[in-house]
């Protein structure tokens, strides 16, 4: 899921289907835009967007209960200098592991947004600029059988001022409370720095700093086997493809250096880690050489089903596009002895998309020797009427898709 940046203050470029681009100065983009342009400017597919989704709401839909996570962990942590205003609440690799899923896929679940919202406000105010997912919503989804939840967050809020800074106590505390809630119930929690290979607006160039960042995080969660570390969300327009591979390797090395040796590590490629472009974007040439002494690397790919693969439309190309867009990635995983997961995907509330989504997941099931799971984008309490909202109980996709997705769990 992409969040693009153009201005220091929030600007909004309205799309159809109740979508918008939230523009801040955090992330560079490969096309020119300005506030106030009509939706028709973006009617044609946008070049080089690939798996990126623009769907962040211009003004979050707030729920009075959405800011309640836990104060206990925050209050029990040692004091950490913080500028945050959120202190109120709280080689071929064989992957092994257990699963709570009764189906052929080890994991089926949902992305849970909130902590990555308000990227133009760093560190931001908890409950105003960003929030955390509702544990009650996660409980509802787990009651349906889902067993994995990806938690997007911002590096700049967790490690403030520099990438190697001591982790912010309040932000970490709320993250830890959410993770503990998920894993105590038997689910897996995926920690996803939703940064697109950037920190404070600049491409991450120091593998040493990135390794340190991950060592800090993994140290906090190394005793929880059900935590999964996702190195970074949707690298794109980097200095080189090799740089993406090197950053992923630094992530793996930093995690293992912390003593976290039992957790899975999700690695993502360039070009927004698209499954449909995995073998044409350069990922297939550089990503296969990653190594992990724990043999727990999983290749995370994203796949949307609209014309440009951006996830900005509820219109799917065809009823077969889901299966078609993962076919080459499946071949690559199998040929290289790797494991993969679709970490983001969605489709509109219509017959064509429903058939296409089912076809995609059926394709994963048919190739469950290499595919480990599937996650829907996206859950979270601030999505409002977003076309892909999986938020119980009235989210558009929750109503349209929850039983279909859960049937694979």
- Report the catalytic residues: 234, 344
**How many Cα atoms occupy the beta-carbon half-sphere of 280 within 13 Å?**
10
User: Which pair of tokens denotes residue 98?
Assistant: 């257990």
């Amino acid at each position: 899921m992409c969040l693009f940046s153009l201005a220091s203050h929030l600007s909004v470029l309205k799309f159809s289907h109740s979508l918008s681009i939230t523009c801040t100065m955090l992330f560079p983009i490969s096309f020119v835009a300005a506030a106030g342009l009509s939706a028709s400017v973006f009617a044609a597919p946008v070049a080089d967007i690939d798996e990126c989704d623009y769907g962040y709401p211009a003004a979050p839909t707030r729920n009075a209960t959405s800011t309640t996570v836990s104060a206990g962990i925050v209050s029990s942590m040692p004091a950490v200098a913080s500028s945050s205003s959120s202190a109120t609440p709280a080689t071929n690799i064989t992957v092994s592991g257990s699963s709570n899923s009764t189906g052929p896929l080890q994991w089926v679940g949902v992305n849970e947004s909130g902590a990555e919202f308000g990227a133009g406000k760093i560190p931001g105010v908890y409950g105003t600029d960003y929030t955390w997912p509702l544990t009650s919503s996660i409980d509802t989804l787990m009651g349906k059988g889902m067993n994995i939840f990806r938690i997007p967050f911002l590096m700049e809020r967790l490690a403030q001022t520099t990438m190697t800074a001591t982790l912010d106590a309040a932000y970490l505390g709320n993250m830890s409370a959410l993770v503990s809630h998920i894993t105590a119930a038997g689910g897996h929690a995926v920690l996803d720095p939703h940064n697109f290979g950037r920190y404070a607006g600049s491409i991450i160039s120091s593998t040493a700093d990135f390794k340190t960042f991950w060592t800090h995080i993994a140290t906090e969660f190394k005793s929880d086997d059900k935590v999964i570390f996702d190195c970074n969300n949707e690298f794109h327009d980097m200095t080189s493809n090799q740089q993406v591979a090197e950053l992923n390797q630094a992530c793996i090395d930093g995690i293992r250096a912390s003593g976290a040796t039992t957790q899975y590590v999700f690695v993502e490629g360039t070009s927004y880690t698209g499954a449909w472009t995995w073998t044409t974007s350069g990922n297939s040439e550089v990503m296969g050489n990653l190594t992990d002494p724990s043999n727990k690397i999983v290749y995370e790919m994203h796949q949307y089903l609209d014309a440009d693969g951006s996830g900005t439309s509820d219109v799917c190309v065809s009823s077969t596009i889901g299966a078609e867009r993962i076919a080459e990635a499946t071949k690559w995983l199998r040929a290289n002895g790797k494991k993969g997961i679709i970490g983001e995907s969605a489709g509109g509330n219509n017959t064509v998309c429903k058939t296409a989504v089912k076809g995609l997941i059926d394709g994963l099931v048919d190739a469950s020797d290499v595919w480990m799971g599937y996650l829907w984008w996206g859950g979270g309490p601030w999505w409002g009427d977003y076309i892909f909202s999986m938020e119980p109980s009235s989210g558009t996709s929750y109503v349209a898709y929850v039983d279909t997705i859960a049937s694979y769990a």
